[in-house]
């Protein structure tokens, strides 16, 4: 088999066989096939696309390029949740303990933040002593004992995807639907839960800016999951403004704890309940979406989800004190209010710009190895649709460096758009693909 022929066949729009896809992925991962040939193939795929079978073969070959987690020691239907990434997205921190409080095993692998979006692992590291580098045995033991565990991605998870994604990143070949879907799903399938619920975000702060693209990606990923024998569904959710009011690691953890205490922001809770309903249904714990939702509501009312979160934080090396007294979590030394100058209603908050403001404060990573300041961030006091008056604070910045706070201030002012007329209600849940 020759890589030249594979490129040439895809260039002409022909179907690639499983053997050809395996030859390319395995050869590239081992270093036998050079970057320039794989770049050419990726570009040909951007123009010609891949069909369902090719996409599945690419996903499965990338999944099998590294370790596939063996979770057979965990009893019950293990559920996992994945978000395509957004600003202020602390959904997992609220959702996982709610679902676990119902006795459903949540075995989750998460990533760190990069650029304007945050990551669950960074947020959890706000708890002093918290460890996300669990051995597989510890991970399974925790899920069996307390029904939830979250660990960082193992170094050997879908290494072929890691190499291919880095190449796509510098060759303008990221934004092809089948390539994105197979990249995300190769990692999810390697994490090997029985049921997967996807949160596919759409809007200015999301990877998929257009709703129709988010639906197309959701359908593609659900198809892959089903073909791989998993129980899977995807919820398409709004990311046209940050989710909730807090952006920045420690502030987001505090907001998650408020949510577990029953005082979470409505937009965040809408997303939490929609995803949670899918997880409960997938685990076979409820017959109807209404029953599933009612069960989840009870975990908040009775504080069983809050107690579950405290148990989880303790089991992974920190102390439940931080859950019951979140004021002990780190906060930036200075605070600075962002003042509005116009009369009207908030029509838009550019999520990406708010994410970049948090990055400017030191709360995010420019490169994979950057150090981050967990204590800084932004609290939004006004969200889409709310009336605002001149001189009123729309947000508060928490910082450790005044110069950085001033830079963030400019970005936040820029992010807010005010209009004189009232704003139409936007629904958080755009649809569900099952």
Choosing from 168, 201, 365, 384, the catalytic residue is: 168
Cα Rg of the chain (Å, integer): 22
CA separation (Å) from 48 to 7, 10, 12? 11, 7, 8
Closest CB to ligand URA among residues 127, 165 = 165
* Whether 187 is catalytic: yes
**In this structure, are residues 191 and 66 in contact, taking their beta carbons and an 8 Å threshold?**
no
Closest CB to ligand URA among residues 77, 174 = 174
Choosing from 63, 187, 230, 365, the catalytic residue is: 187
Residue identified by tokens 């709310």 is 386
Choosing from 82, 188, 254, 365, the catalytic residue is: 82
* Whether 82 is catalytic: yes
For the bound state, the minimum distance from the C-beta of residue 417 to ligand URA, rounded and expressed in Å, comes to: 27
**Alpha-carbon gap, residue 25 to 336, rounded angstroms:** 50
> Which residues here bind ligand URA, judged by CB under 6 A?
165, 174, 179-180, 183-184, 207
For the bound state, the minimum distance from the C-beta of residue 381 to ligand URA, rounded and expressed in Å, comes to: 32
Q: Can you tell me whether residue 44 is helix, strand or coil?
A: helix
CA separation (Å) from 346 to 126, 209, 350, 390? 31, 20, 11, 12
Q: In terms of DSSP H, where are the helices of 147-265?
A: 159-170, 177-191, 211-227, 249-260
**In this structure, are residues 123 and 243 in contact, taking their beta carbons and an 8 Å threshold?**
no
Closest CB to ligand URA among residues 174, 423 = 174
**Alpha-carbon gap, residue 31 to 306, rounded angstroms:** 48
Closest CB to ligand URA among residues 100, 177 = 177
* Whether 384 is catalytic: no
* Whether 188 is catalytic: no
**Alpha-carbon gap, residue 401 to 46, rounded angstroms:** 44
For the bound state, the minimum distance from the C-beta of residue 99 to ligand URA, rounded and expressed in Å, comes to: 23
**In this structure, are residues 36 and 43 in contact, taking their beta carbons and an 8 Å threshold?**
no
DSSP code at position 102? T
Q: How crowded is the C-beta side of 405, counted as CA atoms within 13 Å? A: 19
For the bound state, the minimum distance from the C-beta of residue 169 to ligand URA, rounded and expressed in Å, comes to: 9
**Alpha-carbon gap, residue 151 to 140, rounded angstroms:** 11
Closest CB to ligand URA among residues 184, 191 = 184
* Whether 381 is catalytic: no
Q: Which pairing describes strands 231-238 and 195-202: parallel, antiparallel, or unpaired?
A: parallel
Residue nearest to ligand URA (CB): 183
Closest CB to ligand URA among residues 174, 297 = 174
Ramachandran bin of 401, using left for φ above 0, alpha for ψ from -120 to 50, beta for the remaining angles: beta
Q: Which H or E element spans position 405?
A: helix 402-415
For the bound state, the minimum distance from the C-beta of residue 176 to ligand URA, rounded and expressed in Å, comes to: 8
Distance from the Cα of residue 295 to its chain's centroid? 24
Choosing from 183, 186, 259, 375, the catalytic residue is: 183
**In this structure, are residues 100 and 260 in contact, taking their beta carbons and an 8 Å threshold?**
no
Closest CB to ligand URA among residues 142, 183 = 183
Catalytic residues: 82, 161, 168, 183, 187
């Amino acid at each position: 088999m020759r890589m030249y022929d594979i490129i040439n066949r895809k260039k002409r729009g022909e179907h690639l066989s499983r053997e050809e896809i395996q030859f390319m992925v395995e050869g590239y991962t081992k270093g036998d096939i050079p970057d320039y040939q794989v770049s050419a193939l990726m570009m040909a795929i951007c123009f010609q696309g891949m069909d369902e079978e090719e996409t599945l073969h690419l996903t499965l070959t990338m999944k099998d390029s590294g370790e596939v987690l063996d979770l057979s020691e965990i009893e019950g239907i293990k559920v996992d949740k994945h978000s395509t990434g957004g600003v202020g997205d602390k959904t997992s921190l609220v959702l996982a303990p709610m679902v676990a409080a119902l006795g459903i095993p949540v075995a989750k692998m998460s990533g760190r933040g990069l650029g304007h979006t945050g990551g669950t692992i960074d947020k959890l590291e706000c708890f002093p002593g918290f460890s996300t580098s669990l051995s597989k045995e510890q991970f399974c033991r925790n899920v069996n004992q307390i029904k939830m565990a979250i660990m960082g991605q193992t170094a050997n998870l879908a290494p072929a995807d890691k190499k291919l994604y880095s190449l796509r990143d510098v060759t303008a070949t990221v934004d092809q639907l089948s390539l994105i879907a197979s990249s995300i799903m190769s990692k999810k399938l390697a994490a090997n839960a029985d049921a997967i619920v996807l949160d596919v975000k759409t809007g200015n702060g999301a990877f998929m800016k257009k709703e129709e693209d988010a639906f197309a990606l959701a359908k593609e990923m659900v198809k892959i999951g089903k073909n791989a024998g998993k129980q899977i569904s995807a919820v398409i959710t709004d990311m046209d403004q940050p989710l909730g009011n807090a952006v920045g690691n420690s502030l987001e953890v505090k907001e998650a704890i408020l949510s577990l205490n029953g005082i979470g922001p409505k937009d965040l809770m809408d997303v939490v309940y929609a995803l949670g309903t899918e997880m409960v249904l997938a685990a076979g714990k409820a017959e109807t979406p209404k029953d599933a939702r009612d069960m989840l509501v009870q975990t908040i009312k009775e504080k069983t989800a809050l107690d579950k979160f405290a148990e989880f934080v303790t089991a992974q090396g920190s102390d439940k004190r931080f859950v019951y007294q979140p004021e002990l979590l780190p906060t930036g030394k200075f605070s600075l209010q962002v003042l509005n100058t116009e009369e009207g209603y908030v029509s838009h908050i550019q999520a990406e710009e708010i994410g970049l403001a948090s990055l400017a404060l030191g709360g995010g990573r420019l490169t994979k190895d950057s150090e981050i300041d967990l204590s800084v961030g932004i609290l939004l006091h006004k969200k889409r649709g709310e009336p605002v008056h001149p001189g009123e604070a729309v947000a508060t910045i928490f910082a450790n460096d005044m110069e950085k706070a001033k830079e963030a201030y400019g970005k936040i002012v820029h992010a807010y758009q005010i209009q004189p007329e009232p704003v139409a209600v936007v629904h958080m849940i755009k649809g569900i693909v099952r």
